[in-house]
Structure 1
Amino acid sequence: MLDYNPLACLPSSEELPDSDDTPVDNELQDLIPGLLKAILAIAWADRMDWFFGADMGVYYDPNLPAIVPDGFLSLGVERFFDENLRRSYAIWEEEQVPILVLEVVSQTYRGEYTTKKDEYAKLGVLYYLVYHPTRRRKSRLEVYKLVNNEYQLLSGNPVWLPEVGLGIGSEQGIYQGITREWLFWYNEQERRLRTPEERVQILAQRLRELGVDPDALM
């Protein structure tokens, strides 16, 4: 009897294009998901069942171009794929649809509130986040949850995401020496998780209180 595995006929993530040679047109589209990923790398350091991708192709059909969100989170997947890490994210290979997708609006709309929103709903992404850095009259961060195949806007700041086990929201902070509004993860008590820079500063202060020069340890 022929043992046929249809997944074996699909291209792997290593065979799929990992770049469309289109640079991001807003530095925040790189920094904002980068900060979220850096915080998770510390908060979930002992977990090996998650992956956060930034500006990476998400393939859902081998015959169609990838969707490239500014950031996305998947649970129930290997944190480290191998020593070369992931080049792209193929859903048929990972067997998990991202649970959360983030889009950061640039100077011009790219369908964040229309076509992309519809695409992610069809894909089954549970949480869809849109962050508009220069918005004034409406909330800059909008968090949607997929309910009955349609996205419903959630209220609050931060917004608790029970399936993720974290909340997400926006507030003023410092990252890479830049003071502005950033997106952060929060615990269930709505306490913001510290950034890597903040953790280093706290450790340095504690060492000074013990009479130890932190620079001497470098």
Structure 2
Amino acid sequence: MFNYNPLDCLPSSAELPDSDNTPVDNELQILIPNLLLAILASIWQNRDDWFFGINMGVYHTPSKEAIVPDGFLSLGVERFVGENGRSSYVLWEEEGIPPILALEVVSQTYNGEYEQKKIDYAELGILYYVIYAPTRLRRKRQRLEVYRLVEDKYILQPGDKIWMPEIDLGIGREQGIYQGRMREWLYWYDEHGKRYSTPEEQLQNLLARLQQQGIDPNTL
């Protein structure tokens, strides 16, 4: 008897382009998602059921091109896949699980973050869509806007720090230092609105505690 598996007819992630080949035009489009990933890797270091992609193609239909968020978070999937990791995020290789959050960092070259991408992410079923405009280029727009998908439509969530119960995290913005640069960054928060510290901050706090105990970190 012939057993037909429809997945056999679908291209694998290795056969698909890993992005849309559109270069970023602002380094914040890389730095901000990388900071969020670094914090996640710290607070969720004992979890293996999540993946955070940066400028990676998300394939939802074989006949369509990938959607490439600046960053996205998926839950309920393997954190690590193979020795070399994912080259792209392919829904039919992820048990049909779409990202639960997509992030877009608005740059000087406007790319439809408030219109077409909102439609695309809603069709994909992404629960939270986060738009951050570092320089607030568009009038009547907040620097940080977080939308939640309700009955196939994105609803803007009020507040500066938005709690997302399905993720058990909040997201917000505030001044801080990352890679030696002082500016406003995006951060994760707990349910009480307390910001999770970055790995750099954790290291500095550890060094300070050692020095308070009379221990020279350079001798360790």
TM range (shorter): over 0.9
Distance 2:91 2:6 in 1: 14
Deviations for 1:1-37, whole angstroms, at most 9, x for unmatched residues?
3211111211111111114443210010000000000
TM-score, normalised to structure 2, is: 0.96
The answer to whether the aligner puts 1:2 opposite 2:5 as a matched pair is no
Per the TM alignment, residue 102 of structure 1 is displaced from its structure 2 partner at its CA by 0.2
Pick which of 132-141 and 174-183 moved more. Answer: 132-141
Asked if 1:169 corresponds to 2:169, the answer is: no
Amino acid paired to 1:51: F
Q: Deviations over 1:113-141 (max 9, x none)?
A: 00010000011000001101111764200
TM-score normalised per structure 1: 0.96
Is residue 20–residue 68 contact of structure 2 (8 Å, CA) maintained in 1? Answer: no
- Deviation of 1:38 after TM superposition, in Å, equals 0.3
The code of the aligned residue for 2:51 comes to F
Task: Tell me how far 1:198 sits from its aligned partner.
Answer: 0.2
SS in 1 for 2:42: helix
Matched, 1:195 2:192: no
Are 2:146 and 2:156, in contact at CA under 8 Å, matched by a contact in 1?
yes
Task: Give the aligned partner of residue 126 of structure 1.
Answer: 127
Instruction: Report what 2:213 is aligned to.
Output: 210
Q: Could you tell me which residue of structure 2 aligns to residue 117 of structure 1?
A: 118
Q: Which residue does 2:182 correspond to in 1?
A: 179
Of 59-68 and 99-108, deviating more is 59-68
Amino acid at match of 2:132: Y
Where do 1:14-53 residues align within 5 Å?
A: 14-53=14-53
Task: Confirm whether residue 80 of structure 1 aligns to residue 80 of structure 2.
Answer: yes
Quick one: which amino acid aligns to residue 214 of structure 1?
Answer: P
Query: Percent identity, aligned pairs only?
Result: 65
What is the SS of the residue equivalent to 2:102?
strand
State the secondary structure of the residue aligned to 1:130. Answer: strand
Q: Which structure 2 segments of 5+ residues have no match?
A: none
One-letter code aligned to 1:100: L
Mapping for residues 150-165 of structure 1, pairs under 5 Å:
150-165=153-168
Distance 2:210 2:15 in 1: 49
Alpha-carbon distance in 2 for matches of 1:213, 1:138? 49
State the 1:212 CA deviation: 1.3
Quote the Cα distance in structure 2 between the aligned partners of 1:7 and 1:22. Answer: 29
Unaligned runs of 5+ in 1: none
Shift of the alpha carbon at 1:87? 0.5
State how many pairs are aligned. Answer: 217
One-letter identity of the residue aligned with 1:82: G
SS at 1:121 equivalent: helix
Counterpart Cα distance in 1 of 2:126 and 2:8: 25
1:79-118 to structure 2, matched below 5 A, reads 79-95=79-95, 96-118=97-119
- Residue 145 (structure 1) aligned with residue 120 (structure 2): no
